[in-house]
């Protein structure tokens, strides 16, 4: 990985952390509707747009999956390869390394988590 790619990943991760901190620190009357929805648990939020991904690694013991993925617009995250938690460990039984998938990710208890996964 070249220095420019590393820099882009570092910037994306920093921006994501800053957004999460801003949403957690938002007070009533200060912040966007999205920040208020986050405080309300936003269980009824609209489903995230599905993103294309490729399975690089599966770790059933920890309930995690590594995906190379496109842009995650709802998380303001650039395309990259990263490890995700899965909302339901049974999702990992649907896929194998090398599979092309479509998925939606969101923040669940502070961790970027796959909340929907469509396998081939």
Instruction: List the CATH number of the domain containing 113.
Output: 2.40.50.320
More confident residue, 4 or 42: 4
For the segment 19-77, what is each residue's pLDDT rounded down to a tens digit? 444 444 444 444 444 444 444 444 445 556 899 999 999 999 999 999 999 999 999 99
- Beta-carbon neighbour count of residue 91 at 10 Å? 20
Secondary structure class of 118 (helix, strand, coil): strand
Q: Both tokens of residue 105?
A: 């990710």
Average pLDDT of the residues of the chain:
77
pLDDT score for 22 = 45
Domains contained in the chain, number: 1
Q: What is the pTM of this model?
A: 0.61
Share of the chain above pLDDT 70, in %: 60
4 or 61, higher pLDDT: 61
Enclosing domain of residue 101: 3-118
DSSP code per residue over 80-107: EEEEEEESSGGGGGG--TT-EEEEEEEE
Which two three-digit tokens encode residue 45? 């939020």
């Amino acid at each position: 990985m070249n220095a420019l790619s590393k820099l882009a990943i570092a910037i994306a991760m920093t921006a994501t952390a800053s957004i999460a901190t801003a949403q957690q620190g938002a007070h009533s009357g200060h912040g966007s509707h999205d920040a208020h929805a986050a405080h309300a648990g936003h269980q009824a939020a609209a489903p995230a747009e599905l993103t294309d991904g490729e399975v690089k690694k599966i770790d059933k013991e920890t309930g995690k999956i590594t995906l190379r993925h496109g842009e995650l617009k709802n998380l303001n995250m650039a395309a990259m390869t990263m490890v995700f938690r899965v909302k339901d460990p049974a999702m990992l039984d649907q896929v194998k390394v090398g599979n092309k998938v479509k998925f939606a990710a969101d923040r669940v208890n502070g961790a970027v988590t796959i909340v929907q996964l469509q396998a081939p």
